[in-house]
Structure 1
Amino acid sequence: MSYETRPQTYDETIKILEKKDYRGIAEFILPSVKDAEEVSLEPTQLSVPDMREMDFLAKVNMNSESFILHIEFETAYKSNTEMMKRMLRYYTYIKWHNDLPIYQVLVVLKKPENVKNIKGTFESKVQNLDVLKYKYKVIKAYEIDKNEVLKQRKIVLYPLRVFMKHDEIDEEQHIEECLKVVEGLEDKDYYYLTVECVKKLYKESKYEKYVKEEILMQSSLYREPYEKGIQQGRKDEKVNTVLKFLTKRFGILPDEIKEKIEKLDMINLDIILDKVLEYKDIDDLKKFLH
């Protein structure tokens, strides 16, 4: 299995899934949340310069009990010590700003290469005095049966099925099946997010033949990429998006068409993005640009 790993690879994906159905994520990670009277998202942005933003933070009111649910999704698990320090720092930060009890969960997406036993507990003792006992729940996504997500109809987790157990089929069949599941969903963003997870995890040669461009193009995320560093809304970037979109649809564009598109305002650029799938051929585009 070939991987392309880097810190925070899936941060944007998790944030988008969170916006779509944060309660669904919470209920899958902690099933008892199904009985909660209220689940509300909390701010995850930290004021500490060297700390990464938390993946998921929510306040839960359930059966006369209130607590904070904190979930971290990890793809590059390096060591128990490093992760425990990071989780503990998150805990102290949350506790500093909110005095409610905190339920922490670590979801390990990719199986670590150099850590055989993932730990979620830490005890500190000095002079026979128990100074600290710390614990968080560990969920290993790669040990979860991916079909269980389908049984529970947890659509928000469909893109993350890419990481889950698939012993009965090989990698290419697994990729094809994961994409097939999201292909028919009304919200095409799930297809886009599944492709993003797949392409970060496998070599391009393994997945590219299974990706259907006509479905991918229907996702709003395809039109407005969320990769770090992209400033959305600027005209030059919108032009590049339109040109890329049209090139994928019709092939290499004539220079005269490129020049006309570059001169369009934001409104007309958006019109092209909205109607591009309706254009039967490049002549339909030329009529619009005339």
Structure 2
Amino acid sequence: MAEYDNLCKILAEKYPLDFTRWLLNQEPQKIEILKTELSIEPIRADSVTFLQTENRILHLEFQTTVKSQKPISLRMLDYYVRLTRKYQIPVTQVVIFLQETSDAIAFTNEYVSEVTTHRYRVIRMWEQDSALFLSNLALLPLAPLTQTDSPQTLLSQIAQEIAKIPDIETRQNTAAYTEILAGLKFEQDLILQLLREETMQESVIYQHILQKGEQKEAFKYTLRLLNRRFGKIDSLIIERLQLLSTEQLESLGEGFLDFSNISDLVAWLEQNTSG
């Protein structure tokens, strides 16, 4: 499970400004990634991130599992004391649990002993609204872990957002990050079906064709996508698809990822055409 924690650390250090905005709800004038020698547990070093703004340190820990050599709450106290002693500025600590669990540790935000109480923030990704993550490139790979009643709809929305990324390398990297983290929550078949980079690249081309109003080319791409999704399409259905306008093909292109089988396509045609 460490690979998931490490990936989140990579994202936080790749996009420190976005993570700081999200977790501190402020716009820092400057931000620095601290490469400080404070590691308490070497095995956890790949999941701990320290970001310093002009007046605060943000200490992030990503947790896929609640298991830990040292209790998480005690570790947070230990880091707090070390960071405060070394930098002498306020410290905000956030533990982000990635995978849904009912374990009490994921719902604990303090260390308590006879003489000491230390509090920190806890974020459970499965309780978070997806809207923020869908609208932010840096946070987009975390979107599959957010709250949803419809996994297929959420993954379709994520795929659409990834498809909008203009830079090819960034789009490919974001798709890879997202696919890995989605594996914590969804079946691999569903992930490959909706987040596969090749499909998203076709989506970009498809939207470009639609914008140019080339109905014949749009039909060809629509048919290609449907064939890959459901196998060879019946000739009677193809005839009905050929009669669709550019606007109808655009609507179908947005909706077909929600189809479970060919009967959903037939139902869509019944609802959206007169033939």
Same fold, judged at TM 0.5 (above): yes
Q: Say if 1:21 and 1:51 are closer, same or farther in 2 by CA, change over 3 A.
A: same
Give the SS at the match of 2:107. Answer: coil
The residue type equivalent to 1:144 in the other structure is: Q
Alignment-derived partner of residue 250 in structure 1: none
Once the two structures are overlaid, the 10-residue window that deviates more, 18-27 or 113-122, is 113-122
- Matched-pair contact (CA < 8 Å) for 1:108–1:140: yes
CA distance in 2, matches of 1:75, 1:43: 23
Deviations 1:63-86 (A, max 9, x none): xxx22111112221248x822122
The residue type equivalent to 1:58 in the other structure is: L
Alignment-derived partner of residue 37 in structure 1: 29
Alignment-derived partner of residue 68 in structure 1: 57
- Matched-pair contact (CA < 8 Å) for 2:99–2:184: no
CA distance in 1, matches of 2:196, 2:106: 39
CA distance in 2, matches of 1:113, 1:140: 11
- Matched-pair contact (CA < 8 Å) for 1:78–1:114: no
Q: Say if 1:215 and 1:15 are closer, same or farther in 2 by CA, change over 3 A.
A: farther
Residue of 138, 141, 149 corresponding to 1:159: 141
Note the residue ranges of structure 2 that are not aligned, 5 or more in a row.
202-275
Give the SS at the match of 1:52. Answer: helix
Alignment-derived partner of residue 176 in structure 1: 156
Q: Within 5 A, what are the aligned runs for 1:14-33?
A: 14-31=8-25, 33=26
- Matched-pair contact (CA < 8 Å) for 1:176–1:210: yes
CA distance in 2, matches of 1:132, 1:111: 29
Q: Within 5 A, what are the aligned runs for 1:203-282?
A: 203-214=187-198
CA distance in 2, matches of 1:120, 1:49: 20
Q: Say if 1:29 and 1:184 are closer, same or farther in 2 by CA, change over 3 A.
A: same
RMSD: 2.7
Is structure 2 residue 103 aligned with structure 1 residue 119? no
CA distance in 2, matches of 1:59, 1:112: 30
Deviations 1:240-290 (A, max 9, x none): xxxxxxxxxxxxxxxxxxxxxxxxxxxxxxxxxxxxxxxxxxxxxxxxxxx
CA distance in 1, matches of 2:193, 2:37: 38
Structure number having the greater helix percentage: 2
- Matched-pair contact (CA < 8 Å) for 2:175–2:197: no
Shift of 1:26: 0.9
- Matched-pair contact (CA < 8 Å) for 1:72–1:106: yes
The residue type equivalent to 1:124 in the other structure is: S
Deviations 1:116-147 (A, max 9, x none): 8711123322xxxxx21201011222111101
Note the residue ranges of structure 1 that are not aligned, 5 or more in a row.
1-5, 126-130, 218-290
TM-score by length of 2: 0.62
Choose between structure 1 and 2 for higher RCO, CA contacts under 8 A separated by at least 6 residues.
Answer: 1
Deviations 1:150-172 (A, max 9, x none): 4xx321000101110112x2x23
